[in-house]
Amino acid sequence: MRDFRNYLTTADQEGRRQWLYPRKVQGRFFRARTWLSWLLLATMFVGPFIRINGSPLLLVNIVERKFVILGQIFWPQDMIMFAVALLVFITSILVFTAAFGRLWCGWTCPQTVLMEMVFRKIEYLIEGDSHQQRALDQAPWTPGKAAKKGAKHAIFLGLSFLFSNTLLAYIIGPEQLFQIITDSPARHLQGLTAMILFTLVFYAIFARFREQACTFICPYGRLQSTLLDENSIVVAYDYKRGEKCGPLRRDESAAQRQAAGNGDCIACHQCVVVCPTGIDIRNGTQMECVQCTACIDACDDVMDRVGRPRGLIRYASLNGIERGERLKVTPRLVGYTVVLLGLAFLLALLLFTRSEVQTLVLRAQGALFQKMPNGHYSNLYTVRVVNKTSREIPIELKLENDIGSLTVMGGDIIVAPQKQAETSVLIELNPSAMKPGTTPVVVGVYSQGRRLERLVTAFIGPRDDRNQ
């Protein structure tokens, strides 16, 4: 084994890119990943069209600051909830990774699913397995080679366009995407630019950049050294059983191998040639390993052929391999889990107590208090109501403390779905109920008799109570 710490598998000593040609893999894990990838891809394509109570399943419209998760509409005003949800997400990654390593990367990450289950499979279909691809790349340009390369890149571009449209559907919604596609291009220059940019980025990643997205760009891989410990379950080589590695001689029995000091690893390199990041798992857990299980399938196949038990490479922890321990609940894991449960509880509380509207009551800019002919004092306010739901909401405003009256200046307030409405409100107070300077007043926000919110605002009056 070469000194793997001093070399990058994807670059030569001058730092030039070394193109990887991972061999086609087959086996039980690959089959399971294939089925899961179909499910994930179907969900990804159907996702933008799924509606929950009229709202999309997921919408992340950063431009218009509109966010919908599982049919729940979130506004920039829901910032605290977002922050808590983000903390829940990060903590669950910590817990999950500490226990099960990069299971996400190998099985569900869009980069791995699209690269290994879509683009790579098309490449195998057009250019053949790894040795044929290598030979094709080294061969001089001929019409046949140009046709294969042209067909591959045309399909890659088409798929990138499809994925870019799907991503856009999650950002702006399928209706707006349909408009961009069907309307005159001049009316949707922004949308078309985004579409072309996304397409080119997808194409660049899957046609050229490939595994480097995981090994150079993705921060999650780099966090592994801090998240994993000797009890984490990862794709691991059982060095106790495998070492010392040595080629299998013809007609060599297991007893003869053992007598020669050899383990079960026959140094066939099949685990290396299938690896999409080009590493040798026998060197131990490495940052580049995306836990794709290809080496497990390849090695199991070798073990079957040489009549040794499967699982020389398998899901195991370091302690599992060294001492035969099963998944252990460590104090670190307990600590992470307690924090996660606490945050999840807080998030659930925020979600369940979340109001359907968000109202802001502000004193009208530049307006002073007024003394009315009846001796009462008045303040003018601007009220802004945000409707966080996907249905129309009629709003009534009431003064909750019985010390005056509230008049909505612009008539009935009806807030359209996912929109906001603004109106002016005049509050009048009886001087006998007022304090010198500022008097707190409570405004109730109602819809069809049901109170949605209660807001406290300041009513300004004269400081000197002789004026009253």
Residue 268 or 364 having the CB closest to ligand SF4: 268
Considering the rule CB under 6 A, would residue 85 count as an interface residue with ligand SF4?
no
Q: Which stretch binds ligand SF4 (CB under 6 A): 43-51, 263-271, 318-326, 411-419?
A: 263-271
Distance of alpha carbon 429 from alpha carbon 377, whole angstroms? 5
Upstream peptide bond of 24 is cis (omega within 30 degrees of 0) = no
Q: Does 228 bind ligand SF4 (CB under 6 A)?
A: no
195 forms part of the interface with ligand SF4 (CB under 6 A): no
CA distance 412 to 396: 8
Alpha helices for 101-246 (secondary structure H): 103-107, 110-114, 120-127, 130-138, 143-172, 174-182, 189-204, 212, 219-222, 224-227, 239-242
Of 180, 298, 343, 413, the residue at the interface with ligand SF4 (CB under 6 A) is 298
Q: Which of 270, 359, 379, 418 binds ligand SF4 (CB under 6 A)?
A: 270
Beta carbons of 422 and 382 less than 8 angstroms apart: yes
Q: Is the dihedral of CA 196, 203, 286, 316 positive or negative?
A: positive
- By CB under 6 A, name the one of 85, 109, 177, 292 that touches ligand SF4: 292
Closest approach, Cβ 309 to ligand SF4, in A, equals: 12
Residue 299 engages ligand SF4 in binding (rule: CB under 6 A): yes
- Window of 154-162, 198-206, 269-277, 361-369 that interacts with ligand SF4 by CB under 6 A: 269-277
Neighbouring-strand partners of residue 17: 11
Total count of residues recorded for the chain: 468
The reply on whether position 248 binds ligand SF4 by CB under 6 A is no
Q: Which helix (H) or strand (E) holds 383?
A: strand 377-387
State the minimum distance, in angstroms, from the CB of residue 281 to ligand SF4. 4
User: Can you tell me which of 177, 233, 279, 441 binds ligand SF4, judged by CB under 6 A?
Assistant: 279
Q: Segment contacting ligand SF4 (CB under 6 A): 283-291, 329-337, 361-369, 436-444?
A: 283-291
Considering only residues 314 through 333, tell me which ones interact with ligand SF4, judged by CB under 6 A.
none
Applying CB under 6 A, among 40, 68, 233, 302 the residue interacting with ligand SF4 is 302
Amino acid residing at 385:
V
Of 228, 313, 357, 393, the residue at the interface with ligand SF4 (CB under 6 A) is: 313
427 is a contact residue toward ligand SF4 (CB under 6 A): no
Closest to 235 in 3D by CA, of 279, 266, 192: 279
Spatial CA neighbour of 280 closest among 15, 13, 20, 17 = 20
Total number of residues that touch ligand SF4 (CB under 6 A): 29
- Tell me how far apart the alpha carbons of residues 259 and 253 are, in angstroms, rounded to a whole number: 10
- 249 vs 264: CA distance, rounded Å: 12
Residues of the shown chain interacting with ligand SF4 in the complex, contacts defined by CB under 6 A = 235, 237, 242, 265-271, 274-277, 279, 281-282, 289-295, 298-299, 302, 312-313
